[in-house]
Structure 1
Amino acid sequence: MKLEAVDYQSPTAAQDFVESLRQTGFGVLKNHPIAQRSVSDIYQNWEAFFNSPEKENFVYHKETQDGFFPKSVSEVAKGHKKKDIKEYYHYYPWGQCPEGLKQEIHAYYESSLALASELLNWIEAESPDSVSKHYREPLSNMIKDSGQTLLRILHYPPLVGDEEPDAIRAAAHEDINLITILPAANEPGLQVKLKDGSWLDVPSDFGYLIVNIGDMLQEASGHHFPSTTHRVINPQGTDTTKARISLPLFLHPRPDVVLSDKYTADSYLKERLRELGVV
């Protein structure tokens, strides 16, 4: 089995894309509206940022979680004990950002957000009536005016040999949010866990856009759409000297959005952040 890229411009794009999400929790789009040149420039400019001492001027605010997260405070995936081998920057339109990088990253944030809204409409339109009746409001409306949607600029540095045994770039985990939009990274390594427990490489062809289901959409859809386990494995051989940059946009509903009888978006997020040890 492999993940097939769906042509965004195909007349059956919505059906094919949502079917892929339903079967694997992941969908891959090609010929989509996100400009490859924009993504390439962001990778280059932010890699320079991560390799400079300037990043220390933007250390994250503990209360609002915006800014630079050094490797020393990297996440520990739920159910794991080793920190991921990564550092990252949390960009929110209202948060701190290096002045020279803000215009470019904000333009990307806005264009990706617009596409995400369209993809949520696809998901809702292709949901069976038995599933869509669970949605307390239109899916695309859940993210409207939300200050919680997060663009994370991830930097996986080259491996130097002093990493903790068994630590990898991103341990197996599920995302918390509704959906995540991710341009193919500048290096491979992303894998998705299949129903039989095996791991499948997610296509890393530059220009592809990868979308996956998060826990909140799984909850809101009554588990019709699976929040799929994924990870980023360490490179092998000469590739260990290469850094990896990726740009996941995590689509978060407004805190007041009702996901199910059990959770609002706010209560769900706080529960998961406590489990991760972030708050």
Structure 2
Amino acid sequence: MSSIPHVDMSQYASDFEGFVQAIGEGYEVNGFVALTQHGIDSDIIHNALDISRELFALPDDVKKKYHLAGQGGARGYTPFGTEIAKDAKHVDLKEFWHVGREVEGTPKYAQLTPNVWPTEVPDFKQRMLTIFNELDKLGRRVLEGIAVYLGEDRDYFESRVNMGNSILRPLHYPPIIDEGTPSVRAGAHEDINVITLLVGSREPGLEVLSKSGEWIPVTIIDGAIICNVGDMLQRLTNGVLPSTTHRVVNPPAPYSHKSRYSIPFFLHFNPDVVIDALETCYGEDNPKQFPPITADEYLTERLREIGLIK
């Protein structure tokens, strides 16, 4: 059983009103849901995970050729032991690769920089772009339901995310050699972006902080995609939809002796979108908690906090 509610994405087409209530209530209570019947072919997911394993099996000196210093890890490879959760004392035990939106011609936003592709793994580009596009489409359907739940037009988010600097992150947590390390695979954090969609990794480790202050293990149901609220959406909704703290702890043996792979997709607003509380989300009982800020300003601020921008 999963510790987070399930949302049947087939309702999007068959019973949109029911879908709106399921997605909205799930997020308002938990900040996390598991999307079932989401329509993304399992082969697309498995092919992406398989090619990620191939990528991270490359020698370190080869992978580091694709680390772009000074760019905050926006594209290409970020080495093991680089990222640190906000306010944490120890770096995370992970390495990852960032794939952004592919844009033909000159992009509208300077933040949409070219992707970096490893020549040593020729199928990586096609498989990553395929799953990027599928998760982007799925995320926009989720946002339609959220918009209506919040009292906005169904297409409220479309013009605000259609050229967002969204990121696909193939992620590798290597085997834990030092069982006494103070570091964990991913320290307690909230995601920066609008919503996150997570595929892969059925191994234990992912935990969500409940409102009562307990850490709840999350089991990924076979074929489901976990989708959670990020800080940008929490800010837009003035806290009505919470960005829930989560982490990836070091699992017990034998899982700790194995690599863990997953691929989160961080869906972002267009860089110039001003994040300011929706009128339906504040009032006398819930005054505005945050000042307005552009998505790009907020992202830059947060990337500094986690060590990706110095």
Taking the TM superposition and a 5 Å limit, the aligned residue runs for 1:154-169 are: 154-161=171-178, 165-169=181-185
Shift, 1:14, TM fit: 2.9
1:256-267 equivalences in 2 (<5 Å): 256-260=272-276, 261-267=291-297
Specify every segment of 5 or more residues in structure 2 that has no aligned partner in the other structure, as ranges: 103-113, 277-290
Q: How does 1:1-279 map to 2 (within 5 A)?
A: 2-10=3-11, 11=15, 12-53=18-59, 54-63=62-71, 65-73=74-82, 75-92=83-100, 93=102, 94-98=114-118, 99-127=122-150, 129=151, 132=152, 138-146=156-164, 148-161=165-178, 165-260=181-276, 261-279=291-309
Q: Which amino acid aligns with 1:179?
A: I
Moved more, 2-11 or 86-95: 2-11
**TM norm structure 1:** 0.91
Give the CA RMSD over aligned residues.
Answer: 2.0
Q: Aligned residues: percent identity? A: 35
Cα separation, 2, equivalents of 1:270 and 1:145: 17
Secondary structure at 1:254 match in 2 = coil
Q: Is the 8 A contact 1:184 1:210 kept in 2?
A: no
Partner Cα distance (1:238, 1:34) in 2: 31
Could you report, residue by residue, the CA deviation over 1:3-29 in whole angstroms, capped at 9, with x for unpaired residues? 132221233233212211110110111
User: What is the CA deviation profile of residues 247-266 of structure 1, one whole-angstrom value per residue up to 9, with x for unaligned ones?
Assistant: 11111111110101521111
String of CA shifts for 1:90-128, please: whole Å, max 9, x gaps: 11133101243101110110111011111111100111x
What secondary structure does 1:52 align onto?
coil
Contact 2:86–2:306 (CA under 8 A) maintained in structure 1 = yes
Unaligned runs of 5+ in 1: none
The count of corresponding residues between Structure 1 and Structure 2 is 271
Distance 2:186 2:117 in 1: 24
Whether contact under 8 Å (2:78, 2:95) holds in the other structure is: yes
TM-score by length of 2: 0.82
- In the alignment, the residues of structure 2 paired with residue 191 and residue 72 of structure 1 have an alpha-carbon distance, to the nearest angstrom, of 21
